[in-house]
Structure 1
Amino acid sequence: MRRENPPIGQDAKTTTYTFHFQISNKGGRQACSVSVQAPNFGDATTCFRQNWPMIESMARDGLTGRSSDDTTIKLAVPYEVMRPSS
């Protein structure tokens, strides 16, 4: 029997989970992190994986025009925006 995820309401408790990754940039590697607010680690991981193309695109856009002094790209995405479809 499959259990559906309960709807996320304003009263739902969420925690911020941060995922760290690297992307290549001009022959080097760039450290990045994305924070996802979700009710549990499993939902945050699923959200991160399902939205990887958008996350990677946002990270690459964030690298455009940055100076070499900026070493980390940080993104924050609320779970409600990237919520996995049931």
Structure 2
Amino acid sequence: MRLVAKPTEQEILEGPQAVSFQIANGNVRQRCILQTDLPTQSLAQKYLLTNWLIVERMAREALAAGIPDDGQIKLAMV
């Protein structure tokens, strides 16, 4: 049985964690950020990997709608 890592003091102070990833957009990579409600980076990363198909679809839909001014696609936890 695997134990879930407890959030560190710094993670508690930082609040919910975000994970970044990239998707291919032709010959370039598009940076994306997924904001979660999870307290640790490892849980946020696990959430991203578990829900990758949904998250990737959302990122591609956002990319098709147009890239925001800062050049990043920002998503929220589904």
Q: Work out the CA distance in 2 between the residues paired with 1:49 and 1:68.
A: 24
Q: Work out the CA distance in 1 between the residues paired with 2:20 and 2:30.
A: 11
In percent, how many aligned pairs have the same letter? 35
* Structure 1 length-normalised TM: 0.62
1:50 offset after TM fit, Å? 0.4
User: Which residue is 1:38 aligned to?
Assistant: 38
Matched residue count: 69
Asked if the contact 2:18/2:41 (under 8 Å) is kept, the reply is: no
Tell me the SS of whatever aligns to 1:19.
Answer: strand
Tell me the SS of whatever aligns to 1:32.
Answer: strand
Which one has the largest radius of gyration? 1
Which structure 1 residue ranges, 5 or more long, are not aligned? Answer: 6-12, 82-86
Change over 3 Å in CA distance of 1:66–1:31 after alignment to 2: same
* Structure 2 length-normalised TM: 0.67
Greater strand proportion: 1
Aligned-pair Cα RMSD in Å: 2.7
Residue 19 of structure 1 pairs with residue 19 of structure 2: yes
